[in-house]
Amino acid sequence: VGMAAPAALQRSVVSPAGRHTASLIFLHGSGDTGQGARTWIKQILNQDMAFQHIKVIYPTAPARIPFFPINTAGSSVWNLKKAISNDCPEHIESIDSMCQGLTDLINDEVKNGIAKNRILIGGFSMGGGMAMHLAYRFHQDLAGVFALSSFLNKDSAVYQALKINESVLPELFQCHGTADELVLYSWGEETNKMLKSLGVSTSLHTFPNLHHELSKIEIEKLKTWIIKKLPVEAAKRN
């Protein structure tokens, strides 16, 4: 039985200060919300992650039945998996159904006049994993992908798709703490090496003593990369 098409995702939005010419989609970690991720970044920076020309969108994953043993009545997760491990098989139905909902979000931006090469997608933890599926399997014409404390499974569908890929791929900006006890640094490193071997231009920024969390230096580095990938466009002359 196919999963029903997901309802439009709820989202928290930071509008650009000036003319909107690019968009950034940030996917939260498991059990969080778009608003939660935005608030977390705001606490770290003492202000929103905001730009002159880039709209920042924090969607919220739909609430699902609990996945691995966390005693909650349903967590906002991007896909269902049995365990946090890099050799646990991917739950491809839930990933693909979510990619559909996120594709609708991308299409909303395109309808607003934003070209796909002016849209970046990324996220924290499971959100970063989801962003890699979305970009490398379905939207290879996006401006770039970022993955913070994230990984892909050893035999990920992303790797299978890239083995037969011919097109130019979005660049990947990855960050990972060496003290991460939830998503091991080695899993992030292995993901980076695999994607690089499959033709993705990648960078991996290592943060000593950083646990499964975000840091100020990391977000500042990310912001610099975002502006490099989505520069301010010169005003069009008539």
| Burial classification of residue 128, based on how many CB atoms lie within 10 Å of its CB (0-12 exposed, 13-18 middle, 19 or more buried) | buried
DSSP string covering 125-194, please? THHHHHHHHIIIII-TTSSEEEEES----TT-HHHHHHHT--S---EEEEEEETT-SSS-HHHHHHHHHH
DSSP E strands, the chain: 11-14, 22-27, 54-59, 63-64, 75-76, 119-124, 144-148, 171-177, 202-207
Contact (CB, 8 A) for 48 and 17? no
Say which residues have a Cβ less than 8 Å from residue 161's Cβ, sequence separation at least 6: 136, 137
Active site residues per annotation:
125, 180, 212
